[in-house]
Structure 1
Amino acid sequence: MTDHARRLDAHYDALAREGGEPLPARLRAAFRAAGQDPDHLTLDAIAGIDQLHLGGRGASRALARRGELVPGRRVLDVGCGTGGASRLLADEFGVEALGVDITPAFVAVAEWLSRATGLDDRTRFLCADAARLPLPSASVDVIWCQHALMNMPDRGAVLAEWRRLLAPGGRLLLHEVVAGDNPAPLALPVPWARSAVTSHLSSRAALEGALAEAGFRSLHLEDVTEAALAWRRKHGRREAAPREAAPREAPPEEAIGAAEANRALPGPTLIFGEDFVTMGRNLLANLADDRVRILEGVWRLA
């Protein structure tokens, strides 16, 4: 494992590294405690741990529609986390999804959740560094990446891999955190970093320039910060509410925002620990102060 991989593992699998149970065991026990069979789960039941990015499933659906995904497309989900986007794209858009993540615990959870939801025939997962993927050239139609590029220090190598892996005319679909215009340091911790060592934000201009230099032509690029800010505010209020105010029968909420609106089901605190509430508050502050912004974009391989 490289130093980069170790640092990310220390962030995303912190509870296990501090002597706790491995992430899959911790989540399986939580599902059992909620009266769920961990080997037979619905996509709604796993929503609280499914997509660890701003906007949850709604943001993924919006990006998929913007990218005009159709059945049969081969999609590489880079920085797939627990595999939520891969499963959503396979289930709702009929694609063949391969998720890749550098954190072994996330890949183990992604594989288990795909089996438990009956989507393991349309989703596969690989533990690897996005800058060096053991995949054939021109083997995918779409590169999909949500809130992951900011964890990758060698952006040039990653973009070169994306260019190598995409088939001619392939598309890149990106939903990403970038640096805002406010040069003040980030309020930390945030969901992608407990310290600056794992945060590799670029500006919008720098990202656009790097993509153009790597051979990607922009088809659509939109700043969706205001929508992300509203979403974070709404879910931050829910996270701050007393636990007993959320009934067990409430529907599960979207990943990184609502943190266990249905308190019986696993949520992000089982992944990030009690730091998650602070991470959410700091993310809100960073968005509101223009220290970070959120972009949604589609590019075509030139």
Structure 2
Amino acid sequence: MPAAHTSSHASLTDHYDAPAHAGSAPLLVRLESAFRAAGCDPARLSLDEVAGIDQLHLGGRRASRHLAALGRLASGERVLDVGCGTGGASRLLADEFGCEVVGVDITAAFVEVAEWLSAMTGLDRQTRFLCADAARMPLPDGGFDAVWCQHALMNMPDVSTVLGEWRRLLVPGGRVLLHEVVAGDNPEPLALPVPWASRPAESHLQARAELEARLAEAGFVLEALEDVTEGALAWRQKHSRREASEPPVGPGLPGPGLIFGERFVEMGRNLRDNLAAGKVRILAGCWRQA
């Protein structure tokens, strides 16, 4: 792996698994303990019980359902979930839409947890997970009907190479379903940290026009594109209020704070403020391979 990619990989791993790098137990161990403390059997979990750590993007499961409907996903389709995190979208697509899903993420702790959660929720036959760089995935050509990507391109420094991989991996006429954070019209620096970056060098936001141009250059034709910033901001505002309130009495189900640590409240607040100030916007779209 080139030095630049190695450095980027290490930075992302440090960001997304910060508590473990600070000396805490591995993420999987922390989650098992948290589920037990909440009165759950970590060997048998429901999708509702894991929802808090399932989909680490704005809008949660509702945003994923909206994107799936926008892209007209159908039962039996083969989907590649790029930047899958803990695998929540992969499981949702398998459970609610009948898709066969391969999730790919560069953070090994996320892949380990994704595999475990799929097994514990009974969805391991329809989902599998791979720890790999999205710019060079060890998968055969033309193996997927759709590429799915939520809030992940902004962590990828070589977007053109990633889009080339998507084209290689899709069947002719395959779709790209994208739910992405892009740069807004306000050029002021982001308030950091945010959920995808602690430092400016970790954030690779593109403007909407730049993203559309790169997709077109890679051979993808736009079918539908929506700016969903207003709804994302309302969702983030609601969750920021909840995160800033007094903690509940007794242990609750695990949420993003268990993954990101105490700084998650600050991340959520900064994301809310960046959205409100027009520094970032949120897009949901579908493209088809020409």
TM bin (shorter chain): over 0.9
Is 1:125 aligned with 2:129? yes
Provide Cα deviations, 1:177-233, integer angstroms capped at 9, x if missing partner. Answer: 000000000000000001111100000000000000000000001111011011111
2:258 alignment partner in structure 1: 270
Is 1:239 aligned with 2:227? no
Query: How many angstroms does 1:39 deviate by?
Result: 1.1
Query: How many angstroms does 1:301 deviate by?
Result: 0.2
Is 1:89 aligned with 2:77? no
- 129, 132, 139: which is aligned to 1:135? 139
1:24 alignment partner in structure 2: 28
Is 1:294 aligned with 2:278? no
How many residue pairs match? The answer is 286
SS of 1:131's equivalent in the other structure is coil
Instruction: Specify the code of the residue in structure 2 equivalent to 1:79.
Output: G
Cα distance in structure 2, aligned partners of 1:186 and 1:240 = 21
Provide Cα deviations, 1:154-179, integer angstroms capped at 9, x if missing partner. Answer: 00100000010000010000000000
Instruction: Specify the code of the residue in structure 2 equivalent to 1:292.
Output: V
SS of 2:281's equivalent in the other structure is strand
Q: Please provide the CA RMSD for this pair.
A: 0.9
Is 1:61 aligned with 2:49? no
Cα distance in structure 2, aligned partners of 1:289 and 1:208 = 23
Q: 5 Å matches for 1:4-83?
A: 4-83=8-87
Provide Cα deviations, 1:103-153, integer angstroms capped at 9, x if missing partner. Answer: 000000000000000000000000000000000111100000000000000
Is 1:283 aligned with 2:271? yes
**Sequence identity (%):** 69
SS of 1:243's equivalent in the other structure is coil
Cα distance in structure 2, aligned partners of 1:32 and 1:198 = 34
Is 1:176 aligned with 2:164? no
Instruction: Report runs of 4+ in structure 1 exceeding 2 Å deviation.
Output: none
Instruction: Specify the code of the residue in structure 2 equivalent to 1:290.
Output: G
Is 1:107 aligned with 2:111? yes
1:253 alignment partner in structure 2: none
- 203, 212, 235: which is aligned to 2:207? 203
SS of 1:86's equivalent in the other structure is helix
Cα distance in structure 1, aligned partners of 2:103 and 2:243 = 29
